[in-house]
A and B are shown apart, each in its own frame.
Chain A
């Protein structure tokens, strides 16, 4: 058996699940904060197999979903400019902004929007369109930010004058801190995002155990990874010794990836940032450093972060904080479905509402 495939082995999973069923005797509300964990927990069927004592809550782990209303309004304004081409990951296309507008509707209105798989592809778009400014929408957590930073460095190396990034990158640990500081969230444990951790390592999460006494496990995305993380959490709660455990050592070094972090630090600097549902969180976002100002779309004349109201009726804010399950939203599966999404949590395939809709209905 391939050493990586073994992480899906049904026999091993069953044995771990049996052990979990035997040991999970006290109530446990655990949150995962990564869209890929959300999808994996539903897709593998794990959610319906977990012991009744264990409650799975999805958190603010979908970068498209946590992009703030004002940030969406900002890139939609930019898309209207004749001299601008927007380059973006596909997930942002249908995220609704003010007055039901999205990049998709902007495109129908004549805006030029190119979907790219990698920020690197946006450099080629810029090279092919010297008369326009290509703006890449920099959305994503610590997994994505280094890739965008490296792309900005390449743009400088290639002396591209018409490439810019609208930088709305966000950092995971400050969001976890905000969730724990809110007495209403009731989170007993975290499953920590494997690929964010591949970059930042384990140290930035230390406060979870030290200050908030919340056991947390960095883990991968296979059923075996998630089950073993839950077993580890149950054991830590029994022993009364919460810690941050790295259970994804095949990918994550405790010290993370210092090369990727250096590239990120060279180009970006942390600032207070707005999150949908969570508001302004200190030190939770990244902006482009002065040294790379020529590549910063925020510094183009006339670009601002406009005030934008929350989407009427959408409870994404509550869903992202784990305070409300998606099917408790009055619009869920009524006005709001993946075909007619009201909020970003239903748009993105990694959003809590979309995952709930897709998998809940055939449980």
Chain B
């Protein structure tokens, strides 16, 4: 039940967004989110609420750091 999953925002209507992952769509509430997501953003969804926007640039940066640290070629 702690499960929280990243889903992509495909529509926003005031405090409710449609989100999608792997062909499954849901409606989630945005009451709890601290930075409004834009279309195409991924948000972490838990119990019908978006709780955080995922930072794609930060994710990219983290992966780059791993690759550099481990001497692997960059993606």
A interface residues (Cβ-Cβ under 8 A, vs B)? 1, 3-4, 6-7, 9, 11-12, 15-16, 19, 34-36, 61-64, 89-91, 117-121, 139-141, 143-144, 146-148, 150, 153-154, 193, 195-196, 198-199, 224, 228, 249-253, 257-260, 263, 348, 350
**10 contacts across the A-B interface (CB closer than 8 A):** A3-B60, A3-B63, A4-B42, A7-B63, A120-B48, A140-B2, A153-B31, A154-B31, A260-B32, A350-B1
Beta-carbon nearest neighbor of A199 in chain B: B51
Q: Is the CB of A118 within 8 A of B48?
A: yes
Q: Is the CB of A144 within 8 A of B32?
A: no
Given A63-B2, A350-B1, decide whether A11 and B72 contact each other with a Cβ distance below 8 A.
Answer: yes
Which residues of B are found within 8 Å of A193, using beta-carbon distances?
2
Further contacts, 12 of them, CB under 8 A, given A35-B3, A260-B32? A4-B59, A90-B1, A117-B47, A118-B47, A139-B1, A143-B51, A146-B49, A147-B32, A150-B29, A154-B31, A198-B44, A250-B58
Given A7-B63, A16-B70, A119-B48, decide whether A140 and B1 contact each other with a Cβ distance below 8 A.
Answer: yes
Beta-carbon nearest neighbor of B66 in chain A: A12
B interface residues (Cβ-Cβ under 8 A, vs A)? 1-4, 6, 29, 31-34, 42, 44, 46-49, 51-52, 54-56, 58-60, 62-63, 66-67, 70, 72, 75
Q: Which of A15, A139, A257, A348 contacts B32 (CB 8 A)?
A: A257
Q: Is the CB of B2 within 8 A of A195?
A: yes
**Candidate in B2, B3, B33 with the most chain A CB atoms within 10 angstroms:** B2
Which residues of B are found within 8 Å of A253, using beta-carbon distances?
34, 52
Given A89-B1, A150-B49, decide whether A259 and B33 contact each other with a Cβ distance below 8 A.
Answer: yes
Q: Which of A4, A62, A153 contacts B54 (CB 8 A)?
A: A4
Separation of A147 and B49 alpha carbons in the complex (Å)? 6
Separation of A3 and B6 alpha carbons in the complex (Å)? 13
Separation of A120 and B75 alpha carbons in the complex (Å)? 41
Which residues of B are found within 8 Å of A139, using beta-carbon distances?
1
Separation of A63 and B55 alpha carbons in the complex (Å)? 27
Q: Is the CB of B48 within 8 A of A141?
A: no
Given A120-B48, A144-B46, A147-B32, decide whether A249 and B70 contact each other with a Cβ distance below 8 A.
Answer: no
Q: Is the CB of B55 within 8 A of A195?
A: no
